[in-house]
Amino acid sequence: MDSNLRIGFIGAGNMAYGIAKGVLQSGDVPPTNVKVSAPSRRNFDRFQELGVDLTHSNTELISSCDLVFVAVKPHLVETVLCEISHHVTSKHIIVSVAAGVTLEMLEGLLPPESVVLRLMPNLPCLVQKGALLFSRGTRARPEDGALLRSLLQHCGVVEEGPEAWIDIHTGLSGSGVAFVYLFAEALADGAVKMGMPSALAHSIAAQTVLGAGQLLRDSGKHPAQLRSEVCTPGGTTIFGLHAMEQGGVRAATMNAVETATERARELGRKASSTATQNRK
């Protein structure tokens, strides 16, 4: 990686902060080579702790950076790209982290020679345990993808795939984080119902989710295999699993991922339609 690479973040929310932390953690990119732009100083304090440069000007940022993460809400992407488009050259790499905003839309709002990638991280990037999936635009080269992967390696698991997978990843991992939190809450509530203090129940539920997830990732085993290893004939776990199956947990979870995925696709269609109308 070029030690002189200059990285910018348009937007100062959670995703920008999590990615910036991961990028700086490698030590390959000094804080002085990172710049963050936002319209207000509301979220600047934590970035100041990272030692990065701060600005309120998106055009100043794009003019002084090589790789730029567009980390704003989806409905603001068109406004931001129209603002910076006259300053984007073929030497820039633009990475969008906005849900539902397609590569076609991004490339349509930028100059024809623009190099664009679409990235979907999730909230655990804040603690460098994220699941990130990216896709390359029509003019992005394999080495551009390799550079992005290298920059993000400390943010968590980073994978590349076709754009059709991005919305699925949103339903699985982006929204899936909230599904896990709901499950953890219910797990703790069950313990509270049986007489355990709430604070202890939530602490143990959090550790249970953390430990189960790490074992699943590190063992390389299928979830069903690990599940069977916990069960003993006539034991507590198989009785509990039977109750979960009666409650439809498996089907409800699959439906949640499907519904979230379809919503991501719907948002993408709306964003593309709006952008098309605005360009007419």
Instruction: Tell me the binding residues for NADP(+).
Output: 10-15, 71-74
Binding site: which residues? Answer: 10-15, 58, 71-74
67 phi and psi, to 5 degrees? -120, 125
Sheet arrangement for strand 34-37 = 53-55, 34-37, 7-10, 67-70, 93-96, 115-120, 130-136, 156-160
CA 27 to chain centre: 22
Question: Structure tokens of 35?
Answer: 């710049």
- Residues comprising the chain, all counted: 280
Question: Contact 198/188 with Cβ under 8 angstroms?
Answer: yes
Specify which residues 133 forms β-bridges with. 120, 159
The DSSP bridge pattern shows strands 130-136 and 115-120 to be: antiparallel
Q: Which residue has the tokens 């919305």?
A: 167
Side-chain half-sphere exposure of 264, counting CA atoms within 13 A: 26
> Annotated binding residues for NADPH, as ranges?
58
Q: For residue 262, report the phi and psi dihedrals to the nearest 5 degrees.
A: -65, -35
DSSP state letter for 229: H
Q: Which helix (H) or strand (E) holds 201?
A: helix 198-219
Identify which of 44, 41, 40 has the alpha carbon closest to the alpha carbon of residue 16: 44
Amino acid, res. 92: H
How far is Cα 223 from Cα 190, in angstroms, rounded to an integer? Answer: 23
